[in-house]
Amino acid sequence: MKQTLIGLALCALLAWGVWRQPPATAPIVQHREIFALGTLVQLSFAQSVPPQLMPAVEQALSRFETRWSVHGDGDLARLNQLIEQQGSAELPQSLRPGFVIAQQACRNSGGLFDPGIGALVRLWGFDDEDHFRSAPPAASAIDGLLKARGSLCTLELGPRITPPTPSTQFDFGASAKGRAVDEIVALLRARGVHDAIVNAGGDLKVIGSRPDRPWRIGIRHPRPDAGQEIIASLEVHDGEAVFSSGDYERFFIHENRRYHHILDPRTGLPTDLSQSATVLHRSAELADAAATALFVAGPDDAAQTMQDLGISHYLLIDAQGRQLISPAMAQRIETSE
């Protein structure tokens, strides 16, 4: 009798499970997407989207892109042209705050992050889709630019800037996206947004939280085809940014060797110490620059470089796929292995 009752109870539970359907619920998060900054910018809202917000975001991103692009006739492109032609140029007020923060990061990283490598980035063809190469440039060309370039670390940021050589070109590809994300987050807050994520091609900053839990972010494996898509996850709180740099997006293979877009300012070559670097910080701009510096530093110099930059939360995957996780980051993340 007892067995029959247990069997009947399990059958009833089974039938209930089959017929029961989860209640249909509206999505908690709405997404909007914009192509900007050379990537797909996704905005996720855990609230209603204020009217006229998206056009304002698009305009802000467009203005930012024009200002900081090395191509076209924006402020940075003109600055580079003037330096090339005249050896010096007035530093526009629109660029000054970005130059100041980047210079601090350049100095604190010992030059591992240095926007003064613009001519090298152009030589390698990583500045623009149309310049993409299938083979590395000649070693003599790299050496020539290395000797001729100036560093942002040592530049005097007066009303005019005069790099040591006119062949110095500035490229803020390793920090401008962070600055843009900070600016868009500020714009969203000013327009009443209190729960959202600004995600610019895998580099993101959050506002508030979801109604049911904090925002949860996955960190993608640098070699996802290895059978593991996510290497770690963490909950991210209001005002925090998570930025990653890696060798897996912009690269080409030549004679069985991978040449990626993150150049070591000391050698002019893609660094071969790391696969990916992830940094968590409240400033997206600093997180962006620090992720590049961490990637270039590699495992041996990671801790010192991050300490000098004031970064306590970081995760580095080295060239062999080994994880180096800072103690503070270890308290925040769940690893998938």
Partner 1 sequence: MTRADWLLLCGLAYAVGWLFHSLWLPQSEATQATISGPHQTHTIRLDEDREIEMMGPLGASTITIHAGAARFTRSPCRHQVCVRSGWHRRGGAVAACVPNRISLSLLGANPEFDGLSY
β 257-260/251-254 pair status: antiparallel
Cα–Cα distance, 139 to 74 (Å, whole number): 31
What residues from 216 to 255 belong to the interface with partner 1 (CB under 8 A)? 216-220, 222, 224-225, 229-230, 233, 242-244, 246, 248-250
Question: Is position 199 an interface residue for partner 1 (rule: CB under 8 A)?
Answer: yes
Question: Is position 30 an interface residue for partner 1 (rule: CB under 8 A)?
Answer: no
Instruction: Report the 10 Å Cβ neighbour count for 42.
Output: 16
Pinpoint the alpha helices (H) of the chain.
2-19, 53-68, 75-86, 96-108, 118-124, 139-148, 176-190, 284-309, 327-330
Closest to partner 1 by CB, 7 or 192: 7
Please select the residue that binds partner 1; options are 1, 5, 30, 40, rule is CB under 8 A.
40
Question: Is position 186 an interface residue for partner 1 (rule: CB under 8 A)?
Answer: no
Question: Is position 31 an interface residue for partner 1 (rule: CB under 8 A)?
Answer: yes
Looking at the chain, how many residues does it have?
Answer: 337
Using the contact rule CB under 8 A, the part of the chain among 29-37, 73-81, 146-154, 163-171 near partner 1 is: 29-37
Phi then psi dihedrals of residue 171, to 5 deg:
-140, 115
Task: Point out which residues pair with 220 in neighbouring strands.
Answer: 230
Please select the residue that binds partner 1; options are 1, 5, 22, 140, rule is CB under 8 A.
22
Closest to partner 1 by CB, 104 or 251: 251
CA nearest to 298, candidates 272, 331, 335, 334:
272
What is the closest distance, in whole angstroms, from the C-beta atom of residue 215 to partner 1 in the complex? 5
Cα–Cα distance, 100 to 120 (Å, whole number): 22
Evaluate whether 233 touches 217 at the Cβ level (below 8 Å): yes
What is the closest distance, in whole angstroms, from the C-beta atom of residue 32 to partner 1 in the complex? 11
Please select the residue that binds partner 1; options are 103, 278, 283, 305, rule is CB under 8 A.
278
Closest to partner 1 by CB, 39 or 162: 39
In sequence order, the 6+-apart residues with CB closer than 8 A to the CB of 98 are 68, 172, 175, 176, 179, 285
Phi then psi dihedrals of residue 224, to 5 deg:
-65, -25
Question: Is position 11 an interface residue for partner 1 (rule: CB under 8 A)?
Answer: yes
For the packed helices 176-190 and 284-309, what is the interaxial angle rounded to 10 degrees? Answer: 130
What is the closest distance, in whole angstroms, from the C-beta atom of residue 73 to partner 1 in the complex? 21
Question: Is position 202 an interface residue for partner 1 (rule: CB under 8 A)?
Answer: yes
Using the contact rule CB under 8 A, the part of the chain among 108-116, 129-137, 164-172, 182-190 near partner 1 is: 129-137
Closest to partner 1 by CB, 23 or 159: 23
What is the closest distance, in whole angstroms, from the C-beta atom of residue 8 to partner 1 in the complex? 10
Evaluate whether 191 touches 43 at the Cβ level (below 8 Å): no
What is the closest distance, in whole angstroms, from the C-beta atom of residue 33 to partner 1 in the complex? 6
Helix (H) or strand (E) holding 45: strand 39-45
Tokens of 133: 């190469």
Using CB under 8 A as the criterion, which residues of the chain lie in contact with partner 1 when the complex forms?
Answer: 3, 6-7, 10-11, 13-14, 17-18, 20-22, 29, 31, 33, 35, 38-40, 42, 44, 129-130, 132, 197, 199, 201-204, 210, 215-220, 222, 224-225, 229-230, 233, 242-244, 246, 248-250, 276, 278
